[in-house]
Amino acid sequence: MKKLCREVWIEVNLDAIKRNIEAIQAHIPRKSKIMAVVKANAYGHGSVEVARQALESGATELAVASLEEGIVLRRAKIEAPILVLGFTPLDCVKRAAAWRIDLSGLREDWIVEANEILAEEESQRRLGIHVNVDTGMGRLGVRTKEELLGVVEALEKSENLRWDGIFTHFSTADEPDSDFTLLQHSIFIDFLRFLKKQGIKVPTVHMNNTAAAIAFPEFSADMIRLGIGLYGLYPSQYIESLDAVQLEPALSLKARIAFVKEMVTEPRTVSYGATYVAKPDEVIATIPIGYADGYSRALSNRGFMLFRGERMPIAGRVTMDMTMISLGEMKAKQGEEVVIYGRQKGGEISVDEIAEMLNTINYEVIATLSRRVPRFYRRGGKIIKISTPVMYV
């Protein structure tokens, strides 16, 4: 491998992905399958490699947020079923059928028009549809039994669409108060019973996300959608406190010191706005990562990085491409490793800690990691692949 010219990278432990799937599978009923959610570039981990590992580890299907994300997986020769969880415009249904990517069914008129559009094609391949039932998320899907029956009957009459699944999404399953989750569940089950009373055979049923799969494994039905748990993170502190499933974070963010500056004789300001003043004899190290990489500017003068296992504070404002840290009077050399998220010599900075510091959730911290940061994939302790948007020359 050629040396990185900008030494910042993400390491993804594929063995952790495998163990997380196994841990969840052991917790839910044996009959329940796992759909691995790899939207948003697999929550920043890299969708292609994570999808492959998830399928090798027991997942049977994949979920994405958009048709474009699904096409990325198909172009990588991934053949497993793929479902787009979000809305897809009618002028994209031909493309979805051509790439064999299932779509979410949200309205009767959309189903009717999609069928007519596909009737223009010579291909006999039918487009798979999963019907989305809105039981309280308030985002997408049918909300009444009449709407549901209209969608299902349109699907059953269709010659070009195939009804593959029906699902809902729990909005508060990660919270201690379970009342609303139980309400959503009862609404969904009532909808399913309504269909069966009409003599309609219901296909694959899925409702549990990571939080519900951990807190309510009995609701796992035919399949669960494993998102944040796939990556070894918990949806909330409450879900982690249940101590029902042991998950292992798969991602670390690392860099090498690009420059070392010793403030030998007098105080000097650091970074934009001169918000940090380094003392005499203080050592400032420049790290080649910034907010364009997904390292939040809100960590300016607040965050830490690990150097030789110890926490070193950020000095001044995080810039677009670089961040400075104070090493106190500790001597350092260019090229020494710094850990931004992860562990180093007994020290640890977790994604959850960073999320709390930023008043957000762990999902956002990892999902906003830029594609320009190379991903190093580890298995068995060895790097087996490097994915980078920049071609080496």
> Domain containing 85 — which CATH number?
3.20.20.10
Contact 315, 271 (CB under 8 A): yes
The whole-number pLDDT of residue 391 equals: 53
150 in a domain, yes or no?
Answer: yes
Q: Show Cβ contacts of residue 358 under 8 Å, excluding neighbours closer than 6 positions.
A: 296, 298, 299, 364, 365
**Which pLDDT band, with edges at 50, 70 and 90, does 263 fall under?**
confident
Q: DSSP of 217-272, one letter per residue?
A: GGG-TTEEEE-GGGGT--SSHHHHHT--S-----EEEEEE--EEEEE-SS-EEESG
The whole-number pLDDT of residue 393 equals: 44
Bridge partners (DSSP) listed for residue 132: 167
User: What percent of the chain is predicted at pLDDT more than 90?
Assistant: 93
Number of domains in the chain: 2
The whole-number pLDDT of residue 250 equals: 98
321 in a domain, yes or no?
Answer: yes
Which tokens is 204 given? 């694959």
d(CA 132, CA 104): 6
Average pLDDT over residues 259-275: 90
Residue 264 has pLDDT above 80, yes or no: no
Sign of CA dihedral 368, 40, 385, 245: positive
Average pLDDT over residues 276-303: 97
The HSE-up count of residue 178 (CA atoms within 13 Å, CB side) is 10
d(CA 154, CA 69): 27
Q: Among residues 48, 235, 225, which one has the least CA distance to residue 130?
A: 225
Summarised one tens digit per residue, pLDDT across range 101-118 is 999 999 999 999 999 999
Could you say which of 157, 196, 272, 345 is catalytic?
272
Contact 10, 374 (CB under 8 A): yes
179 in a domain, yes or no?
Answer: yes
Query: 71 with 119, same domain?
Result: yes
Across the chain, mean pLDDT equals: 96
Average pLDDT over residues 357-370: 97
Question: Among the three residues 196, 230, 264, which one is the final residue of a domain in this structure?
Answer: 230
Point out the least confidently predicted range of 63-77, 255-269, 271-285, 296-310.
255-269
The whole-number pLDDT of residue 88 equals: 97
d(CA 372, CA 143): 41
Residue 320 has pLDDT above 50, yes or no: yes
Residue 243 has pLDDT above 60, yes or no: yes
Residue 39 annotated to the active site: yes
Tell how far CA 362 is from the center of its chain: 10
The whole-number pLDDT of residue 242 equals: 98
**Residue 235: how many other CB atoms lie within 10 Å:** 23
The whole-number pLDDT of residue 181 equals: 98
1 in a domain, yes or no?
Answer: no
Average pLDDT over residues 243-259: 98
Query: 83 with 143, same domain?
Result: yes
Could you say which of 3, 18, 33, 39 is catalytic?
39
Query: 209 with 311, same domain?
Result: no
186 in a domain, yes or no?
Answer: yes
CATH of the domain at 296: 2.40.37.10
Q: Show Cβ contacts of residue 337 under 8 Å, excluding neighbours closer than 6 positions.
A: 254, 255, 256, 344
Query: 198 with 326, same domain?
Result: no
